[in-house]
């Protein structure tokens, strides 16, 4: 099955346990063409600097660094505003529409992820609407495990791997990869309490919730980052 995200948008991929390639954008812009993965069996996704995984690996370093830099820039803008006494109007809430029709086995985990993130952040919300989707969920088997392909601004692909979901907590996998779609990088060395530590803490870690710092970072990204930055 083809992914409906244009390759032009596929600029970065984040995986739960391996490597991959990627999408892009906020009502994040829609995807459209063929993608590097196919269900039910996906071949390895390739692309320099295009992957961030659930488990530590070499192939996602460039992409992860890019997301870290984007987050750092958003935080720097927020600090500058505070230092200069700038009062910005609250960010307009951005809606990221998604399509989960190609991941029926993970329906409850995707719905749970929507509730988790929508209850944790204010500046961006996830809404299921295939007709307007810019973020797509697919399931299957991949040598890369589960991964996200995208630029971290609400569009792209979350691929969910069967074998990995049998080893690691599936809700945590889905919530983690969706965290990439919202702009967060991997932080494998952090504890289980950090959602973006992914598979770093091991299979026994089942926490599927971002902590207060991670939630605040997402709100900062969507107010001050590339995704959305209101005028002063």
Is 5 a domain residue? no
CATH number of the domain at 107, please: 3.40.390.10
HSE value, Cβ hemisphere, 13 Å, CA-based, for 17: 23
Q: Distance (Å, rounded) from C-alpha 216 to C-alpha 201?
A: 22
- Sign of CA pseudo-dihedral 16, 19, 20, 24: positive
Active-site residues, by number, are 177
Please tell me the predicted confidence (pLDDT) of residue 28: 52
Domains: count for the chain: 1
List of E strands, the chain = 13-15, 41-42, 94-102, 124-128, 135-142, 147-150, 156-161
Higher pLDDT, 82 or 35: 82
Backbone angles phi, psi at 33, to 5 degrees: -100, -145
Tokens representing 55 are 């488990």
- Rounded to the nearest integer, the mean pLDDT of the chain is 78
Evaluate if pTM is beyond 0.85.
no
Please tell me the predicted confidence (pLDDT) of residue 37: 39
Is 31 a domain residue? yes
Is 232 a domain residue? no
Is 30 a domain residue? yes
Domain ranges, residue 110? 13-224
Alpha helices per DSSP H over the chain = 61-83, 107-120, 162-167, 170-181, 212-224
Higher pLDDT, 16 or 12: 16
Tokens representing 142 are 């991949």
Is 24 a domain residue? yes
pLDDT, tens only, 116-165: 999 999 999 999 999 999 999 999 999 889 999 888 889 899 999 999 99
pLDDT, tens only, 49-83: 455 667 766 557 777 888 888 888 888 988 998 88
């Amino acid at each position: 099955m083809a992914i409906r995200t244009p390759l032009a948008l596929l600029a970065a991929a984040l995986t739960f346990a391996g490597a991959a390639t990627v999408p892009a954008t906020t009502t994040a812009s829609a995807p459209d063409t063929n993608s590097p993965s196919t269900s039910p069996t996906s071949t390895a996704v390739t692309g320099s600097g295009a992957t961030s995984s659930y488990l530590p690996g070499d192939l996602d370093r460039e992409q992860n660094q890019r997301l870290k830099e984007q987050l750092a820039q958003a935080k720097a803008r927020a600090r500058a505003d505070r230092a200069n006494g700038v009062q910005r109007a609250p960010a307009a809430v951005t809606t990221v529409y998604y399509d989960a029709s190609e991941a029926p086995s993970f329906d409850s985990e995707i719905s749970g992820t929507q509730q988790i993130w929508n209850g944790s952040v204010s500046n961006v919300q996830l809404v299921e609407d295939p007709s307007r989707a810019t973020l797509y969920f697919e399931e299957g088997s991949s040598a890369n495990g589960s991964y996200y392909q995208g630029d971290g601004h609400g569009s792209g692909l979350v691929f969910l791997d069967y074998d990995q979901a049998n080893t690691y907590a599936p809700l945590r996998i889905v919530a983690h990869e969706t965290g990439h779609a919202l702009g967060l990088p991997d932080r494998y060395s952090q504890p289980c309490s950090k959602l973006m530590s992914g598979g770093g803490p091991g299979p026994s870690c089942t926490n599927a919730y971002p902590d207060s710092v991670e939630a605040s970072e997402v709100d900062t990204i969507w107010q001050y980052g590339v995704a959305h930055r209101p005028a002063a």
